[in-house]
Amino acid sequence: MKKMHPGGVAAAFMLALAAAPAFAHITLSQQSAPAASDYDASFRVGHACAGAGATTGVTARLPEGFTLIAVEPRDGWTLTVTPKQVQWLAGGPAAAISGSVKTTFNLRGRLPATPGTLYFKVRQDCDVGSADWAELPTRDGDKPDFPAAKLEVLPAGGGESRQ
């Protein structure tokens, strides 16, 4: 068995920590759905922002072609809704989502009739800092550090939705 030098362990840990934003993004629970259907968007938040102790706000910017129908409120949170975005803000420290607690923020909308890809840009505010999960993939295939939540809109009546 090969032993790793303690300095190597620390370096590997620091490298993993530095790469954390690439793995800590906000995602949709259901990543595909048929065109012209009602869609329940459930944004999964895995933990607070880097260096923060709690998530205090989530703002979902709705993509062109997505028509908002309803939003699920959260106890102790203020809800602000416009046709283009939904914002949940913690009413105080007691309502904030601490550390690595996993939760979802939910809304419902109507998908466009045309298949394609929709990106929901989501800003996560924390007690220290924020993360704007709004970057789109590049043509060269590089994965963004702060990717927007992606939804594949499938042809109506064709294909199963993927979780």
The residues spanned by each domain of the chain are 26-154
**Which pTM value belongs to this model?**
0.81
d(CA 78, CA 87): 8
Tens digit of each residue's pLDDT (9 = 90 or more) over 111-156 = 999 999 999 999 999 999 999 999 999 988 888 999 999 999 999 9
Would you say domain 26-154 falls under CATH 1.10.510.10? Answer: no
Burial 110-121 (b: 16+ CB within 10 A, else e): ebeeebeebbbb
Model confidence at 105, in pLDDT bands (50, 70, 90)? very high
The answer on pLDDT for 32 being more than 50 is yes
DSSP reduced 3-state for 47: coil
Q: What's the rounded mean pLDDT across residues 6-26?
A: 44
For the residues of 126-149, what is the DSSP string, one character each? ESS-EEEE-BPPPTT-PPPSSBPE
Of 117, 120, 121, 119, the closest CA to residue 153 belongs to: 117
